A = this chain, B = another copy of it.
């Protein structure tokens, strides 16, 4: 993205997408939502909180008592939106020139191997918001359990100008 910064660009794009940047989620512990150092911003891991409440809890998988992968995909999208709010808490989103790295942790039933599809919810949102500069390197892993029993947690590293 070599174009000059266009003020209000990202907020306009979010509005087009029908998305509202939420207030930054208060850390559940002794840390802060994001840190800028140099031209990188690193976010804390974001869980799918909306208005202070987790949207769902549990492990993702196929079967009774598990969070459906399609639902988890939507939750990953919420995580990504919360991560953008975390970035915005330290630097205006219009200054993001590249999404560098995404790690998506999926609390997984041990038989569930569709983590990439779940974390695509986050990746797709970043593509929709930023266009080509939203394309990022990514790791998706299936973990035993996440804070507050969240099904998904997403963290970002973005480059800013």
Contacts and interface: CB of A to CB of B under 8 A. Distances in A.
A141 interface: yes
Interface residues of A, number: 61
A45 B146 contact: no
A142 B143 contact: yes
B142 A29 contact: no
Copies of the polypeptide in the assembly: 3
A122 to B, nearest CB: 9
A107 to B, nearest CB: 8
A20 interface: no
Given A32-B135, A100-B35, A113 B143 contact: no
Contact of A110 (B35, B44, B101, B145): B145
B148 A28 contact: no
A123 B29 CA distance: 8
Point out which of A109, A110, A147, A155 has the most chain B C-beta atoms below 10 A from its C-beta: A147
A93 interface: no
Contacts of A114: 147
